[in-house]
Amino acid sequence: MGGMQLRSTLLASTLCCVSLVAPYLQAADSAMVKRGQMLFLQCRACHDTQPSTTTKVGPNLHCLFGRSAAGAADYATYSEALRSSKVTWNRESLDQWLVNPAAMVPGTTMAFAGVPSAENRAALIAFLEQSTACN
């Protein structure tokens, strides 16, 4: 088999495998988002994920990804520690925050012990990434 034919065969095999696996990966992602949605139920007491006129204890999380910590314009009671933290919300910073907010930003006023399970944090982040999008 020539080099070009071998590359074509490998490419075709790879594409075939990807097309067979893709639906399962989408189902796994969907299951993770649903799990995150269930986990977020306890967060709803303080946070919304969509624009809202309701004022809650915590800030609205709509458009969370890429936003600076203490960056929701309509929320006035951020701690000085969070305001000066220079944190930008992304998957990594949210994962660290969800482990233990007070350890990440000493002096934060968020009364939340954290999520010890890496799987649960990943599910919450997947849900937040989808549900807080600025669309």
The predicted-structure confidence for 99-127, as pLDDT tens digits, reads as follows 999 999 999 999 899 999 999 999 999 99
In this structure, what are the phi and psi dihedrals at residue 104, rounded to the nearest 5 degrees? -75, -45
Number of domains in the chain: 1
pLDDT tens figures, 61-73: 999 999 999 999 8
Q: What is the CATH number of the domain that holds 99?
A: 1.10.760.10
Q: Judge whether 3 lies within some domain.
A: no
In a domain, 2, yes or no: no
Asked if residue 39 belongs to a domain, the reply is yes
The answer to whether position 7 is within a domain reads: no
φ/ψ of 128, rounded to 5, equals -65, -40
Domain region containing 83: 26-131
Name the pTM for this structure. Answer: 0.78
